[in-house]
Structure 1
Amino acid sequence: MTIAPPPPSPLSSPSAVRLRLVPQPAQGRMPRRIDGAWWPHSPDLASELPRLLGGLPHAWGHVTSVLVDEAVWSPFPGRLLVANQVVRLRRTTTQHSPSTVCLLAPGRGRWDLLVVPPAATDAEAGRLMERMATAVNGPESGNRAAAERRGGSGG
């Protein structure tokens, strides 16, 4: 198990989490396929994940398991200690285009985030994050979100 340093304060560090979440669906509506977009600073999951988890809404609860495409990230351990709690890291070899990360919190839910490549420019990342927000909030959100996950035009 790897012990990760606590996430830096977003106000005091230029390396704060780069995360955009879409509003949660109203009661009775179908859940979205993508809940937001995350732009990590590097492919080092062990250093990036604590920042991400520290930037999530408290209502999401404690994330205990994370599923990621191992091809996107540098080698990482099976477990990581984040804020004095163990987070299980699970790998998938099924490549998604674009890449996603799945966060699981027992009793609270599952959240899927689009992963913006760390090497993306500010403009590229902004476009991807905006496209994600538009796709999941548009009138055909289910079809458009699925197209985004496959790398299609969405519509």
Structure 2
Amino acid sequence: MKRLFVVRHGKAEAKHPDGDFHRALAPRGQRDAESLGKWSRGAHVLGSPVLTSAAVRTTQTTALLQEAWQAGETAITVLEEGYLASDRAWLGWINALDNRHEQVWIVGHNPGLSELVERLTEQPVWLPTCGMAEVELQIDQWDAAFAGVGRLRGLFTPKSSLCP
């Protein structure tokens, strides 16, 4: 069985002169990412890889999660194509993962991430900023991940009572 943690980036500043890709986390987004990182510390397994979009707000969210996990060096793959990637693109990257990893973290954007969770679990999901979906996949190899093999184990938001 494999486990996937899907995280939408934290709340970003409204505008950036160089465009959407360069928007940084707003103060609330920073606080939410720190809270999610502390809350999810127990779920993060040392050595679990993280796939993240290259956009500024996603790399900042990833850095805050890693810092809160106190995991030292985490294998982070920054995907230039991850910015506004579709659910199919994310699924392709998941299918190519090394099978020795039992869990993987993804940090990216909507609508692609919410659609990915919907595809895997066949349940309607919309991730708010800094929301996280935990998906349990009934597979032994990442290349077997496809529609319907996942079970939504939890949906966590900064406003849920489960986050500090």
TM-score past 0.5 threshold: no
Query: Normalising to structure 1: TM-score of the pair?
Result: 0.37
- Relative contact order (alpha carbons < 8 A, sep ≥ 6): 1 or 2 greater? 2
